[in-house]
Structures are given as structure tokens and as C-alpha cells.
Amino acid sequence: MVVEYKCCGSEFFIHILIIGFLVLFAGLMSGLTLGLMSISLVDLEVLAKSGTPKDRKHAAVAPFVRVLVWICFPVAYPISKLLDFLLGHGHVALSHRAELKTLVDLHDNELTEKTASDAMTPISDTFAVDINAKLDRELMNLILEKGYSRVPVYYEQPTNIIGLVLVKNLLTIHPEDEVPVKSVTICRIPRFLSNTVDQV
């Protein structure tokens, strides 16, 4: 059965308004759902009291969300109980001060036990290009295959890193021109003395 609409009739505009309202309402509900799933009451209270002005403004919308929750309650509650029955109850976020303190202490201990060398990559495992190399098709394809946003540049030997090339700056270079690496902008990197010179 085909439903025909007249182009500019009042019924046509009413349906357009209803459709627009439902689309906007669906977007609002999906945004609120993601927000409610990713933030707990403790997080909301922290944002309301000590967050940035923008966070405090967003936290102030909580009463409006509560009103929407009560409006949607007759439909949402039975669906939530059905999903809980089928999928199981969700885990409650940490809300006790002692648990939060323990979590912070654990992360603090992990950070204090690690040194900068633990996060370093051996130079033998890094991808770098010679400053005297030419950006031909083969080298450009290799750089793109590696997928890095920055590529170290070395002089004479791979352990002598002199800077970085931003891959986005290579987008305007034509491989046929075979532009030397030293002709592109090379970002200088800070240098420091370390006992482990074979890592970057």
C-alpha cells in the first residue's frame, strides 16, 4: 500500500515536524545514554564541585536529565529489567573513598617504580631515515606503510638522531621529484645525557 502526500499540505509539514522532533529526541537520548553509562554519581559530584566551569555547567543539567528519566520510566524500566535478566547486572562503579584511595595509590606506586628507560625503544627497533636519502616512491611507500606520524632522521649512522620529520608535511611532495630529506622541515628534538645511548 502506497501512501501519497501532497507537496505543500498542512499534513505534510506536520509529519516533517514530527520526524524532525523524533530524530532530535533520539539523538538526545543516545547522548544521554552514553553519558550515563560512562559517568557515575561520584564522578558527577566531583565535576559539579571541582570541575572546570564548562564541566560545572554540564553537571548543572543533571536535574533536567532526572526529569527525562522519570518521563521515560514507564517504558525504560521494564526494558532495563529484561536486559538485566538476559545480560546480567552491570558492575557498580567504585564509590567508596577507601577504594578510590587504594586505586590512586596503586597507580602511584606503578609510576614511581618505572623509569624513563622502561618506556624507551631500542634504536635498533626504530624506523628512521637518512638525512641524505631521497623521498622517492619506494621510501614514501615505506614511510606510509609504517604508519607513524613522525619519523626520526639520522645523520651518517642510525644512532645519531638529529630530528623528526612530520609525515603530514610529506603529503605535498611528489615522489617523482625525489626531494632530499634534508630539504623538508626537520623538527629538532631535545637532547639529554643518559647512560643508555642505544635507546630513544
Q: pLDDT by residue (tens digit) across 151-181? A: 999 988 888 888 999 988 888 888 888 899 9
Q: Where residue 45 falls among pLDDT bands split at 50, 70, 90?
A: low
- In the predicted model, what is the mean pLDDT of residues 15-37? 77
pLDDT, position 189: 79
Contact (CB, 8 A) for 149 and 167: yes
Determine the pLDDT at residue 129: 92
pLDDT digits 0-9 by tens, 98-129: 666 666 766 666 666 667 676 777 777 788 99
Distance CA(94)–CA(92), nearest Å, equals: 7
10-38 helix and 62-87 helix, angle to the nearest 10 degrees: 80
Q: Which residue has the higher pLDDT, 99 or 188?
A: 188
For the chain, what is the mean pLDDT?
75
Closest CA to 153 of 188, 119, 125: 188
Q: Is the pTM of this model over 0.75?
A: no
- On whether the CB atoms of residues 107 and 94 are closer than 8 A, the answer is no
Q: How far apart, in Å, are the Cα atoms of 178 and each of 130, 139, 141, 156, 184?
A: 14, 10, 13, 19, 12
User: Residue 94: which pLDDT band, with cuts at 50, 70 and 90?
Assistant: very low
Residue-wise pLDDT tens digits, 129-143: 999 999 998 999 898
Domains of the chain: 119-183 (3.10.580.10)
